[in-house]
A = this chain, B = another copy of it.
Amino acid sequence: MLEHSCIKININFSFMHKKIRIIDIAKMAGVSKGTVDRVMHNRGNVSDSARIAIEKVLEKVNYKPNIHVSAISLKSRYKIIVTTPEVSPGAYWESIHNGIRHALEEYENVRVELQVFTYNQYDVYSCRETYEKIAAFEMDALIIGPTFNEETVNLCKKMDEREIPYIFVDSAIEDTSPLAFFSADHYVCGYMMAKLITSIIPDHANIAIFQAVRTGDRSANSTILRKKGFTDYLEKNRCTNLILSIPFSVTAPEDNEMYLSRLFRSQRDIPAIVVLNSRGYFIANYLATNHIKGVKMVCMDLTTANIKALKKGQIDYLIGQEPEYQGFYAMKTLLEYLIFKKTVTKKNYVQLDILTRENIDFYKNFNNIMY
């Protein structure tokens, strides 16, 4: 089981491992570098005989082009559009955009023109309008951070017709054919939130779930899935907690006072609280302002405000869904697809990180991202 106590490994030194280059396969196939490049990039203008010879060599050897060297000699330009809900500082969507930007920095030699369109995620009409604008543009690819199902399906249909590849971040929408998506499994997310909250409250405690009110009366895709997971967990585990669904408004915050005071007045025992979107800090602040103590909270997303509430002990568990990772890999995958025709993995579920006030200080928003 245990290995010997001294292993010597030579890297890039050993005779067997000698890194294989494009000129090597050219020689092996009896052609020139140019021809090899032509078949590798499907540029055409290659005789069958040459192509077959090269393909045969490629099968034998494990050629891995050095993408960074590729990038510096690349001439082509790409136009990529990104559309997401509006970005506010320290909040969820900013992280996704940061990830996207970091990917562009990694491929600093690649010429990409980026265009960002944001919409109001609490207003389906705003989304519709923005999507229509986007559909009129020329582009090589599209990254979508979706909120509303129907609107997104419409946009994607248009992209499909124009054969423009698109990638989802945050959440994948059914009945579309994206190149890939990078998202949490929202169902499992809700399921896990139920497990966490029930593990720290008495069996009989009520649980209040907060959900955002939206103009046009449609729920966000991810919230729907999370809620399903949440209730499924309780059902499966025969939890007897009473669930109170509480609306709350981001656009008209003055209404929330009413919702909240009504909730707390109606309850004999203080309920536990689960917030299925990233606005947990909002409730935490309400509780603090009104000196309501001892409320257990499980919330979503490592926004600046949520982290603050977590550190203060107002929030007990915070679930992270690696937004930077999502943005980074969405863009990276897109570029490698466009440039190198790299095959892409379609379904990409990100980690669901559990943060407490103990481990939050070590959580790396972006630095944990290598490669």
Contacts and interface: CB of A to CB of B under 8 A. Distances in A.
Contacts of A2: 86-88, 120
A53 interface: no
Contacts of A19: 108
Contact of A362 (B110, B111, B195, B352): B352
Q: DSSP class of A's interface residues: helix, strand, loop or mixed?
A: mixed
A27 B82 CA distance: 37
A232 to B, nearest CB: 12
A119 B5 contact: yes
Interface stretch (A42-50, A185-193, A263-271, A272-280): A185-193
Contact of A354 (B71, B109, B130, B359): B359
Given A3-B86, A118-B3, A191 B358 contact: yes
Contacts of A68: 66, 68-69, 71-72
Interface string A60-93: 0000001011011000010000000011100000
Query: Which size bracket describes the interface of A in this complex?
Result: 35 or more
A291 B44 CA distance: 66
Q: Which of A3, A19, A66, A351 has the most CB of B within 10 A?
A: A351
B358 A188 contact: yes
A307 B236 CA distance: 23
B351 A108 contact: no
A80 to B, nearest CB: 9
A111 B12 contact: yes
A243 B77 CA distance: 64
Contacts of A72: 66, 68-69
B368 A325 contact: yes
A170 interface: no
Contacts of A119: 5
A248 B68 CA distance: 49
Interface in A325-371: 325, 328-329, 332, 349-356, 358-359, 361-364, 367-371
